[in-house]
Amino acid sequence: MKVSFFVWLVIRKACLTQDKLQRRGLQICSRCLLCEHESENNEHLFLHCRTTINLWHMCLPLYFGNNLVIPSSTLEMLNNWWSIGNRGGEEDW
């Protein structure tokens, strides 16, 4: 249940990343804590951060082979996983 809720937050881009916290009025540095190079937002944190990309390249080939392409959005990634897991043609998220 916790994983489903977290996936729902990621799809809705509702995770409290630093960009969201700043919009709520918190005075914080918007730098990604993993790579310290770019601002932290949903897409960067889960897909495009150097550290995250290294993790994807270590873990995903175990399940999907070596032809890993990082998608442009978290929704696109989850739709890809959904289609791989449900070869029967069920609908997207």
Give 50's pLDDT tier (boundaries 50, 70, 90): very high
Domain ranges of the chain: 2-84
CA distances in angstroms from 67 to 14, 28, 47, 62, listed in the order given: 29, 38, 16, 11
Among 19-23, 55-59, 67-71, the range scoring the smallest mean pLDDT is 67-71
Residue 88 has pLDDT above 60, yes or no: no
Distance from C-alpha of 26 to C-alpha of 34, rounded to nearest angstrom: 20
